Amino acid sequence: MQAYRLLTEEDTSAFCHKVTAALAQGWALYGSPAYAHDPATGKMRCAQAVVKDVEGDYAPDLKLGEL
């Protein structure tokens, strides 16, 4: 099965660390990053999709961050 996650964070080094941690855990980048203004906070936010091949079947209670 291929698992999918969308990582998001404010545009700070925390976002880069979040993506780097996912890559270190075997996730792979999927598509291009996105960058958008959050009008509620007035800050820019980043997003990056990642995928990972894992054993087993999909289940709605799957903890993606633990794969």
Residue 10 confidence (pLDDT) above 90: yes
The pTM of the full predicted model, rounded to 2 decimals, is: 0.87
Q: Which pLDDT belongs to residue 65?
A: 84
**Domain range for 41:** 2-62
| Count: domains in the chain | 1
DSSP 5-51: EEEEEESSHHHHHHHHHHHHTT-EEEEEEEEEEETTTTEEEEEEEEE
**Is 67 a member of any domain?**
no
**Is 22 a member of any domain?**
yes
The DSSP code for 59 is: -
pLDDT band at 20 (very low <50, low <70, confident <90, very high): very high
Convert the pLDDT of each residue in 21-32 to its tens digit. 999 999 999 999
The DSSP code for 64 is: G
Cα–Cα distances (Å) from 38 to 5, 25, 45, 49, 62, in that order, read 20, 29, 7, 18, 29
**Is 43 a member of any domain?**
yes
